[in-house]
Amino acid sequence: MQFIDLKAQYEFAKQRIDQRIAAVLDHGQYIMGPEVSELEGQLARYVGVKHAITCANGTDALQLALMAMGVGPGDAVIVPTFTFFASAEAVAFVGATPVFADVDSRTFNLDGEKLAATIGKVQASSSLKLKAIMAVDLFGQPAAYESIQSIASAHNLLVIEDAAQGFGGERNGKRAGSFGDIATTSFFPAKPLGCYGDGGAVFTNNDDYAALIKSLRVHGKGSDKYDNVRIGMNSRLDTLQAAVLLEKLVLFPAELARRQHVAGLYSAELENNPVVVTPKCEGGVTSSWAQYTLQAKAVSRSTLQRSLQRQHIPTAVYYATCMHQQSAFTSATPPLSDLSVAESLAACCFSLPMHPYLADEEVERVIFTLQNTLL
């Protein structure tokens, strides 16, 4: 059993993907070839925004978003502490300061009440100028953008949606990537929509942001490549990756449906299991189930993982160390608020196999193993 089976996906779509790659090899436009603009158009239509601008990876997408918003030294951006390092790293990279906030224990996303409290503490006790909130759609579920946007508007803050794991998820009829002032995603191979290398994208309805990001991703280019009007970066999605993503996007709706099915099987059987706590989606929310993440309850996480490992069932632990506990941030950005929920999650969460090519009998074997752990 594979934790994420990329080989099975390739075998399913091999002929179409190979044809797309061969077409790129034939025309030879390996950087910013026609497949890149074709993909950007399809991504924008899928998400439901005016602009989708691809780039080299999801971390660059965050950095491009921050640069376009003018976030820099002296500014602060609120980031959930229970997430991947890149979310806060991008903030630090542009010279701003990440301020960490706690998360909800069932959705794993920013907690609205704690977000508001964190903003209050920054304003009361810090010389930093709050500029934005970066919400992360962790494990596939879009964050509570209604409350996040309301809080942001009350304090005149920008909102960035980090949809690296959320792409394909929905909230009240809107797709991940359409929330906030700017949204970003990653096409890292293990993501719900992944390429065969690195890749990312930025989404926005703001024409000015879109134009700026298109310039920033190519060295701050102006009218041509020798007219550099600003300091930018080199962050272009290569044409081969765009070709792969075009074919994977065709498969994506069916794969999302299969992810829903697998998650439904897990939740139906494990929801009342005494040894774990299952993830919960808020009303009106559909997760893309980038991961299916449990919390160990009656026994330790390591005990459950060993039990599964004995049956050759792989598991993974994501974010065993919160952002505010990372060596890069412990001295530079001391916590301004209580982060105990995230610390608890970091100590007990683990993820089960989750991908669209997981057979029902494999899911049942995982469930059976967990149900019999205490017997």
pLDDT at res. 93: 96
Residue 238: how many other CB atoms lie within 10 Å:
20
Torsion region of 37: left, alpha or beta (phi above 0 gives left; psi -120 to 50 gives alpha)? alpha
Is 175 within 8 Å of 199 (Cβ atoms)? no
pTM of the model: 0.95
Q: pLDDT tens digit string along 319-362?
A: 999 999 999 998 766 667 789 999 999 999 999 999 999 999 99
Strands 276-277 and 349-352 turn out to be unpaired
pLDDT of residue 137: 98
Q: Where are the alpha helices (DSSP H) in the chain?
A: 6-27, 34-47, 58-68, 85-93, 112-125, 145-154, 207-216, 239-270, 301-310, 327-330, 340-348, 360-371
CB atoms within 10 A of CB 190: 14
**Of 282 and 127, the one with more pLDDT:** 282
d(C-alpha 235, C-alpha 58), whole Å: 10
Quickly state the pLDDT bin for 373 (edges 50, 70, 90): confident
How far apart (Å, rounded) are the C-alpha atoms in residues 294 and 307? 15
What is the reported pLDDT for 223?
83
**Domains of the chain (ranges, CATH numbers):** 6-248 (3.40.640.10), 252-371 (3.90.1150.10)
Give the pLDDT score at 331: 72
Q: What is the mean pLDDT of residues 226-248?
A: 95
